[in-house]
Amino acid sequence: MATTHFLPKDKLHFLWDTSHEPALRIKSGDTVVLETAEITDDQIEFSSKTEVIDKLDWDRMYPLSGPIYVEGAEPGDTLAVEILDLQTRGWGWAGVVPGLGLLADDFDETLLRTFDLSDGKYVHFRDDIKIPIEPFMGTMGVCPKDAKEQNAIKPGVFGGNIDTRQLTKGTTLYLPIEEKGALFSCGDGHAAQGDGEVCGTGIEAPLYASLRFTLIKGQSIPAPQYKTSGGLTPLVKDSNFYGTTGVGEDLYKAAQDAIRAMVDYISKTYDMPKIEAYVLCSLCVDLKISEIVNVEQYIVSALLPLSIFKKE
């Protein structure tokens, strides 16, 4: 029979490494209930001020719960991770860290905003702005092949820090197994984020999670895949969107231009400092590749859900 396991909060690691002792050993079909740490390993708290960012110990960033050893898992198999439940633990933060983010050259100042998430439905960014809470874990992955003290910030075909906002409750994530036992780990909880996480943070938040693991033997996939439970923007789909674009031969630069235009639009339209508008983009604006077939002239769109503004 399938079993439910509880993973203690202190079973953490900060690097991908095949030598990590498994925090749990489970079988295919089992469920794991766990509590993830916030991305700075609690160096930032609800009462923290902006100055704390300059004092962060980066060796404690990206604490990952795990690893979880799945009996019978071998390289060439696939691990299905069904997200049964995700809940925030009452608070979160977002901000700008110098040197990080899509527009790092535009914003060299530091910003920290903390948020009360206790109502469970909305992030109250401002009195007239509320963003739906849609929890997901930014990092979900199996151990990379032959990993030795591998940094957890960079994602890969094994998963890891993929920051895919569609990995919410009801979604199933599929991961290609690269090491015996799979050695699955997760963390980097978010309460909200737009596609792109453009300022470098979503609403970073500790989470409660319930995950069910199923081993698919003899089936290999080239990189993470997932199946969602419904529409991609179900909490904002019934209202209007405003879009800005970036155009050019470089997709990265086009994405930058689309976000620069959106920052300007939000700042002017909603009377907001540009750095705050930049953070808001990271929390709810979705970057889309609108057109890539015309050689050397690509289109990236940034889409803002107008439902977050009360006056809309």
What average pLDDT does this structure show over 281-306? 95
Of all residues in the chain, the percent with pLDDT exceeding 90 is 93
Number of C-beta neighbours around residue 148 at 10 A: 10
Q: Give, in words, the CATH class of 4-227.
A: mainly beta
> CA–CA distance from 58 to each of 4, 77, 85 (Å)?
33, 34, 29
The whole model's pTM is what? 0.95
pLDDT tens profile 185-211: 999 999 999 999 999 999 999 999 999
Q: How does residue 225 score in pLDDT terms, banded at 50, 70 and 90? A: very high
* Strand duo 150-151 + 15-16: pairing: antiparallel
Of the candidates 42, 140, 129, 58, the residue with the CA atom closest to the CA atom of residue 97: 58
Distance CA 275, CA 256 (A): 15
- For position 237, what pLDDT does the model report? 82
Alpha-carbon dihedral sign for residues 288, 150, 188, 177: positive
Plot region of 246 (φ>0 → left; ψ -120 to 50 → alpha; else → beta): beta
Radius of gyration of the chain (CA): 19
**Beta carbons of 204 and 63 less than 8 angstroms apart:** no
Every domain range in the chain assigned CATH 3.10.28.20: 241-308
Q: How does residue 238 score in pLDDT terms, banded at 50, 70 and 90? A: confident
What secondary structure, in 3-state letters, does the chain show?
A: CCCEEEECCCCEECEECCCCCCCEEECCCCEEEEEECCCCCCCCCCCCCHHHHHHCCHHHCCCEEEEEEECCCCCCCEEEEEEEEEEECCEEEEEECCCCCCCCCCCCCCEEEEEECCCCCEEEEECCEEEECCCEEEEEECCCCCCCCEECCCCECCEEECCCCCCCCCCEEEEECCCCCCCEEEEEEECCCCCCCCCCCCCECCEEEEEEEEEECCCCCCCCEEECCCCCCCCCCCCCEEEEEEEECCHHHHHHHHHHHHHHHHHHHCCCCHHHHHHHHHHHCEEEEEECCCCCCEEEEEEEEHHHECCC
Alpha-carbon dihedral sign for residues 4, 10, 16, 20: negative
Q: How does residue 31 score in pLDDT terms, banded at 50, 70 and 90? A: very high
Q: How does residue 312 score in pLDDT terms, banded at 50, 70 and 90? A: low
Every domain range in the chain assigned CATH 2.60.120.580: 4-227
**Beta carbons of 217 and 72 less than 8 angstroms apart:** yes
- For position 250, what pLDDT does the model report? 96
Q: How does residue 234 score in pLDDT terms, banded at 50, 70 and 90? A: confident
Q: Give, in words, the CATH class of 241-308.
A: alpha beta
pLDDT tens profile 60-88: 999 999 999 999 999 999 999 999 999 99
pLDDT tens profile 127-171: 999 999 999 999 999 999 999 999 999 999 999 999 999 999 999
Distance CA 16, CA 100 (A): 22
Structure tokens at 9: 């909060």
Of the candidates 255, 262, 265, the residue with the CA atom closest to the CA atom of residue 288: 255
Above 70 in pLDDT, residue 216?
yes
Q: How does residue 235 score in pLDDT terms, banded at 50, 70 and 90? A: confident
Above 80 in pLDDT, residue 230?
no
Mean of the per-residue pLDDT values of the chain: 96
